[in-house]
Amino acid sequence: MKSKKISSLKIISSIKEMQKISLNIRKKDTHKISVIPTMGALHEGHLSLIKKAQEKKIITIVTIFVNPIQFDDKKDLTNYPSNLKNDIHKLKSIGVNYLFTPNIKDIYPEGYKTKVVVENLKNHLCGLKRPGHFDGVTSVVLKIFNITLPHKAFFGEKDLQQLVIIKQMVNDLNLPIKVISHPIVREKSGLAMSSRNLRLTANGKKIAPFIYRGLVEAKKEFKRNNKITVKKIINNLKKYYAINNIKHIDYIEVINPRDMSYPLIPRSGDYILTAIKIGKIRLIDNLKF
- 137 vs 116: CA distance, rounded Å: 9
Please identify which of the residues 31, 43, 46, 124 carries the catalytic annotation: 46
Distances (CA, A) of 5 to 8, 10, 107, 249, 273: 7, 4, 23, 45, 41
First to last CA, the chain: 51
- 83 vs 21: CA distance, rounded Å: 26
**Number of neighbours of residue 179 by Cβ within 10 angstroms:** 18
Active site residue 31: no
Using the CB atoms, write b or e for 35-53: b if 16+ within 10 Å: bbbbbbbbbebbbbbbbbb
H-helix or E-strand spanning residue 36: strand 32-38
| CA 240 centroid distance within chain | 27
Catalytically active residues, by annotation: 46
